[in-house]
Amino acid sequence: MLEARLQSQQRSSQNGRETSLWSSGFGMKLEAVTPFLGKYRPFVGRCCQTCTPKSWESLFHRSIMDLGFCNVIQVKEENTRFRGWLVRRLCYFLWSLEQHIPPCQDAPQKVVESTGVQNVIPGRAPGGAGEGQVPSHVKREVQRILGHIQAPPRPFLLRLVSWALLRILNCLFLNVQLHKGQMKMVHKAAQAGSPLVLLSTHKSLLDGILLPFVLLSQGLGVLRVAWDPRTCSPILRALLKKLGGLFLPPEANLSLDSSEGVLARAVVHAAVEQLLVSGQPLLIFLEEPPGAQGPRLSALGQTWLGLVVQAVQVGIVPDAMLVPVAMTYDLVPDAPRDTYHASAPLGLWTGALAVLWSLRGWGCSRRACVRVHLAQPFSLHEYTVNARSCWGSRQTLEQLLQPIVLGQCTVVPDTEKVQEWTPVTRPLLALKEEDQLLVRRLSCHVLNACVASSAVMSTAIMATLLLFKHQKLLGEFSWLTEETLLRGFDVGFSGQLQCLVQHTLSLLRPHVAVLRVQQGDLLVVLRPGPGLAHLARLSSEVLPAFLSEAVGACAVWGLLVGRVLPEGPWELQGIELLSQNQLYHQILLLLHLLPQDLLLLQPCQSSYCYCQEVLDRLIQCGLLVAEETPGSRPACDTGRRRLSAKLLWKPSGDFTDSDSDDFEEAEGRYFRLSQQSRCPDFFLFLCRLLSPLLKAFAQAATFLHRGQLPDTESGYAEQLLRFLEATAQEEGFFECVDPNLAISAVWTFRDLGVLQQMPSPAGPMLHLSPTFASRDNQEKLERFIRQFICD
């Protein structure tokens, strides 16, 4: 249990006396503290200046930062052309009628006449119809496949669904916020004449319905959404296609030499080409559907993105504007666990019951907030021309880390890690190998932009404080919000501090207990059990803002753990000198160990550049201070520094040190931990942000001699999850009891060479590697992981 007293801030008046935040019960007094918000709110979502410099400059103007937010679901009389008391009661209906829905008739005949389909037809009808004619049975087959993919949107149905959604969303959410400046950037990109392709994260099944509604209300027309057919029943698929949905036909995943698969892929290519030529916006989800246990990057999303990339490369359209999109919720209002499962498709009636359950269960007191983030658009053609990667040579995780784990060597190879967890689908296999690599790197690049532009919600900040900070909630809530804003990440809330804390605790009521202990004081107690894993998932939304510092803090802890006692005083640990090369080495080890799905490093940034960024962040936040050795020139003395005789200019990707041109100068540079009073708590807070993942990996190493092998990947992950649950019951640490963490541990150990995948009649099976069959090597692996865990 965690106890945290909610105390009030000091008033800004001269008396400076503290006032009570809470009156009797959960009520509040009239005194309010207006914090930080509005002063340092950053404008997030700028595109990569390295890969797309022209888009970075042309599609942004500094004046759009001051346009503010709008609540998309707040429709009043002023949003219609009419006025009067009757309009105020029918404003939702009138608003839906006034939405501009441009004609977007699908053209089956153009698909049949496309070059790709015409090239496949002779193989389907040898010696059939005459030259230039399409056999009737082949035409019917093309129309059948096209019917699986899409259907003409129905304007009446779109207006009816928009009206119903407006009423439902106002019952579910307090607001759906959208930045007007971000919307202005998207409108400016749409006016350039290139089709818009929105690439989004996937936090909820509601995203595919909410995003088209938001963009339709902002005048972008009907958004065509690429849905996953596994998540929808046939009836729901038919309805979504009439609302603009797209589905990949099942024949597209057949083998490359199958005639049905070749025709289906040609029809899909032609349909996407016609959609881009017509200028209709397209939405692609880059993440797997919520609840799916597997890699973060979606194989289906990469398939649709590959079709767009190929259409631009062959010249069907000269360019396409890519828009990273993200949705963030206080709490995701998905269906309950006994209603929706990731392995079962969502039916129409099931979805309706889920909506009714959400409306009944949430109530007015638990309505959450939503933020829609539209990052700066950038040119796909410009990216394909300028895309570059620092991955000159790449090695597997087994080649990089296994010798170091076993103590066979201490030098980390000067190469990048290759870690591809997302399977490649048949349509993507039809592309060239370099195009496949381009699509994978582009997906990582866009997903990084989506995460960087996502706002941190109040529930994520509160869950992080409850799990890792263990101090006064009111003051720490303000502190963590300011730290998030100062790191260039936005927050998805504003208002008075007392209201924010009260609203957030009400949303987290199933997982916390709020007790009144004294006059004006409250006791917040975490409910022990599986609910802590839910709080850990919420707190993971804060991690991207502090990821560099968290990696650096865990690396520093790994250096100190072998020198001083972990329970020793901070002053004793601050005596130790840490060389820059040692810090680089330790950070690299941790970067290679952490999954790529968590780090989401940009392909244009090497690991060594990221190491320097981590070190710079530790210095900027005040955790590390430079130690000047006697007789040496101070590190800040650049006036007498001579230019390097070896190289006067280096490309930005070749810098290994931010202060000098010669890497050898870093060998004599040392740092020590700062002795400021706030540093010990902040250091432990950063280390604990990565503790759920690292502890899951350490428990997986402990489980090696207990697991039943051989087994399938899913079966062994289920074994590991049960072991994590049993261990959590004993130790009370439920944060690492997560199916995704268990799968990440299994896949990381497979890449590390701890587990080996071998074919069998029943399918691929996991076996324990002979190298790690001995308990000695298993203990070495566990020690290697636990050196980064700060208890």
- Cα-flanking dihedrals φ and ψ of residue 285, to 5°? -90, 125
Looking at residue 466, the DSSP 8-state letter turns out to be I
Q: Classify residue 45 as left (phi > 0), alpha (psi -120 to 50) or beta.
A: left
Q: What contacts 15, CB < 8 A, 6 or more positions away?
A: none
What is the rounded distance in angstroms from the CA atom of residue 532 to the CA atom of residue 449?
Answer: 29
Position 716 in a domain: yes
Q: Answer yes or no: is 497 within a domain.
A: yes
Whether the CB-CB separation of 28 and 502 falls below 8 Å is answered with: yes
> Each residue of 500-532: b (16+ CB within 10 Å) or e?
bbbbbbebbeebbebeeeeebebbbebeeeeeb
Which pLDDT score is estimated for 470? 62
Residue 790 and residue 687 in contact, taking contact as beta carbons nearer than 8 Å: yes
Q: Do 380 and 509 reside in the same domain of the chain?
A: no
With respect to residue 544, please indicate whether it lies within any of the assigned structural domains: no
Both 371 and 494 in a single domain? no
Q: How many helices (H) and strands (E) does the chain have?
A: 31, 18
pLDDT at 666: 53
**Taking the CB of residue 229, how many other CB atoms lie within 10 A of it?**
17
- 3-state secondary structure at position 471: coil
Q: Are residues 377 and 518 in the same domain?
A: no
- At residue 743, the pLDDT reads 94
667 found inside a domain:
no
In the numeric block, the tokens 């359209």 are attached to: 317
Distance of CA 354 to the CA centre of its chain: 25
Give pLDDT < 70 ranges for the chain.
1-40, 104-106, 123-134, 334-366, 388-392, 470-471, 517-520, 564-574, 628-668
Per-residue confidence (pLDDT) for residue 328, from 0 to 100: 94
Judgement on whether residues 462 and 382 belong to the same structural domain of the protein: no
Cβ–Cβ under 8 Å, residues 172 and 333: yes
| Within a domain: 1 | no
Closest CA to 361 of 527, 209, 507: 507
Whether 373 and 500 map to the same domain: the answer is no
Q: Are residues 88 and 173 in the same domain?
A: yes
User: Do 207 and 325 fall within a single domain?
Assistant: yes
Q: Among residues 539, 560, 593, which one ends one of the domains?
A: 539
Q: Are residues 504 and 372 in the same domain?
A: no
In a domain, 397, yes or no: no
How buried is 136 (Cβ within 10 angstroms: 0-12 exposed, 13-18 middle, 19+ buried)? Answer: exposed
Helix (H) or strand (E) holding 370: strand 368-374
Within this chain, do residues 162 and 281 fall inside the same structural domain, yes or no?
A: yes
Structure tokens at 73: 């679901």
- State the pLDDT at residue 775: 94
* Cα 417 to Cα 399: distance, rounded to the nearest angstrom: 9
Is residue 751 in a domain? yes
Rounded (5°) CA angle 88-93-96: 125
> DSSP for 4-65?
-B--PPBPSSTT--B--SB-STT-B-S-----STTTS-----PPPTTT-HHHHHHT--GGGG
Domain closes at, from 520, 539, 558: 539
Kindly state whether residue 720 falls inside one of the protein's structural domains. Answer: yes
> Domain boundary at 519, 539, 559, which?
539
User: In sequence order, what DSSP letters do the residues of 649-662 get, joined into one string?
Assistant: ---GGG-S-SS-S-
Neighbours of 195 (CB within 10 A): 21
Shared domain for 368 and 465, answered yes or no, is: no
Shared domain for 370 and 265, answered yes or no, is: yes
Cα separation, 118 vs 133, in Å, equals 10
70: domain range? 53-118+137-334+364-386
Say how many domains are in the chain. 3
Residues in CB range of 707: below 8 A, 6 or more apart: 716, 719, 720, 723, 768
Q: Which residues contact 641 (CB under 8 A, 6 or more apart)?
A: 660
Query: What distances in angstroms separate CA 414 from CA 134, 227, 608, one per listed residue?
Result: 57, 41, 9
**pTM of the entire structure?**
0.87
Report the run of H or E that residue 434 belongs to, with start and end: helix 433-453
Tokens 């430079």 sit on residue: 626
Could you count the other beta carbons within 10 Å of the beta carbon of residue 45?
A: 25
Residues ≥6 apart with Cβ < 8 Å to 335: 205, 346, 350, 351, 353, 354, 357, 358
* C-alpha pair distances (Å), 298 with each of 27, 47, 320, 324: 46, 22, 21, 15
Do residues 329 and 237 share a domain?
Answer: yes
CATH code: domain of residue 732: 1.10.10
Find how far residue 525's CA is from the centre of its chain. 30
Residue type for position 635: A
How many other CB atoms are found less than 10 A from the CB of residue 250? 13
